[in-house]
Amino acid sequence: MIEVIVEKCIGCSACLKACAYNAITIVSDLAVIDKDKCVLCAACVQACPTEAIVIHKAERAEINKDEYSGVWVFAEQREGTIAGVVHELLGKGRELADELSTELCAVLFGTDLDEMAKELIAYGADKVIQIDDPALKDFRDDKYTDAFVYLTNKYKPEIVLAGATVTGRSFIPRAAVILKTGLTADCTGLAIDPENRNLLQTRPAFGGNIMATIITKDHRPQMATVRHKVMDPLPRDDSRTGSIIKEEYDFTAKKDSSTFISFEKEKTNLINITDANIIVSGGRGLKEAKNFALLEELAGALDGAVGASRAAVDSEWIAYSHQVGQTGKTVKPGIYIAVGISGAIQHLAGMSSADYVIAINRDPDAPIFNVADLGIVGDLFEIVPKLIRHVKDIRQ
């Protein structure tokens, strides 16, 4: 709550000038704050020469951080297949757990989980906590949230990691709200502050123009979602051993708020870009949707996948599932070919981990050339057909 102390306010307007949200007016030589506009940024508090403006902070319950231990990875799966991002999170989680001298635990929901649990141990988990229940066979955010919050309150992990997937983005924030803790979304870097065991969570901010490092210093668990293809998995080791804990949760105590009808897979013959080693991406330079056929032909010749910039997706030239960038997917191919893409920073955020970048653009000053290992300045409608013919000749 923010308050103006009438006896101290002199109506000097210093707070008025400091407020970036037009939340303050001066009425009869007294500062008046519009609570609907105020965001409690405290700029006015710092600017006031008489200390007439104060912010009253609500008392927060202190937690005993010593009660929390362990690094958790939510092991997302669908139809018996562990999501690729989970292997990456186990690799990073293993590093964090070793640095904290604690256990790495995978949390697994669904049905018929035993073989998947063994796989999680092979990829680095010390133990797996699983709930095998028909209610969790298909993803519903309310069911997953209830079960996850129950386990978190029971075992009290210090750190919780999940993939920034449709599933992770849907229920992990709900769990964080119920647990009254912080959550950093779309992290690209994770590290431990050795002085206080805080998780340093790094993610792009302000449209990708800066990298922000966020900490959850007063609450536990520390929760983060991480994009696919930004961490490295450990090699699978089936000789590793670990424990499997089988938990139960009573889903009948709460009325269903949703009903699962069916899961419809996208009807496409194109390779998933997050799994591809070669990606051919197109942007605004393709001019219209039909010209993506050129990229499909080149990608097919290279056994690769087709990607796209946000501009191409927004123009409805290709489905959103092919979008690479900050608001799309993060990819990490061996070769990334950017065709007719200028190279906005939001797009670069999604493909900068590629091993080798080839850029084709008629504008020699396009930002994409700043990150390209090989740049070709010219008309893509002349260059790409030549590439297709060349690749096909080599592979015949």
289-300 pLDDT, tens digit each = 999 999 999 999
Evaluate if residue 329 carries a pLDDT over 70.
yes
CATH architecture of the domain covering 273-395 = 3-Layer(aba) Sandwich (3.40)
Kindly state the percentage of the chain with pLDDT values over 70.
96
Query: DSSP letters of 171-182?
Result: HHHHHHHHHT--
> How far apart are the C-alpha atoms of 5 and 9, rounded to whole Å?
6
Tell which CATH classification among 2.130.10.10, 3.30.70.20, 3.60.15.10, 3.40.50.970 matches the domain 2-55: 3.30.70.20
Q: How much is the average pLDDT of 232-236? A: 93
Query: DSSP letters of 371-390?
Result: T-SEEEES-HHHHHHHHHHH
Q: Where are the chain's structural domains?
A: 2-55, 65-253, 273-395
**Side-chain-facing half-sphere of 232: CA atoms under 13 Å:** 4
Q: Do domains 2-55 and 273-395 have the same CATH topology?
A: no
Which is the CATH superfamily of the domain at 65-253? HUPs (3.40.50.620)
> How far apart are the C-alpha atoms of 145 and 78, rounded to whole Å?
17
**Structure token digits, residue 337:** 């070919």
Q: What is the mean pLDDT of the chain?
A: 91
Evaluate if residue 264 carries a pLDDT over 90.
no
34-77 pLDDT, tens digit each = 988 998 899 999 999 999 999 987 766 678 988 999 999 999 99
